[in-house]
Homo-oligomer: A and B are copies of this chain.
Amino acid sequence: MNTADAAIETIHREMTAFARRARASAGRLHPELSLVSYTLLGHLEDVGGCRATDLAAHYALDKSTVSRQVSALERAGLVERRTDPQDQRVQVLHLTPAGMEILAQVTASRRVAFRERLAGWPEEDLRQFAGYLLRYNAAGGTRRVTAAAGD
């Protein structure tokens, strides 16, 4: 096995390990904002508003799932829907001030944990690692959910 294959093996194993831990501990840290909700809010903040369909594509979720999640977030007053004047079907989602507030709180408390975990990493490595993850997820992310998605 060459070096590239070995690296792929490692990526496979480590990503899977992470996935299983994420699964095991999901939702325990911030009961007030589930993992799903948090990531959806985070994405909204990142891109500054997008459609439900975009969220579904990014997280490889069914549109019905996103629809329900968004409904819950709206009921909680964390996001608002603005119908796109250009296309009546589309509801552009935006964080509300309350949504930004909660997102900031959870982010702050969680950053402590992540800082600890990533303590000692040179900033350059952090940036590069983030870049790789973006690239990996983008490879199949916004488009069709193909075999390799997260597996």
Contact = CB atoms under 8 A, between A and B. Distances in A.
A122 to B, nearest CB: 9
Given A21-B59, A25-B149, A14 B130 contact: yes
Contact of A11 (B27, B114, B116, B151): B114
A115 B8 contact: yes
A72 to B, nearest CB: 16
Number of identical protomers: 2
Contact of A117 (B26, B117, B140): B140
Nearest to A120: B139
A24 to B, nearest CB: 4
A14 B137 contact: yes
A17 interface: yes
A123 to B, nearest CB: 5
Interface stretch (A28-36, A73-81, A85-93, A94-102): A28-36
Interface of A: 3-30, 35-36, 39, 42-43, 46, 58-61, 107, 110-119, 121, 123, 125-130, 132-137, 139-141, 145-151
Given A7-B127, A30-B151, 4 more contacts: A9-B111, A17-B141, A20-B36, A128-B132
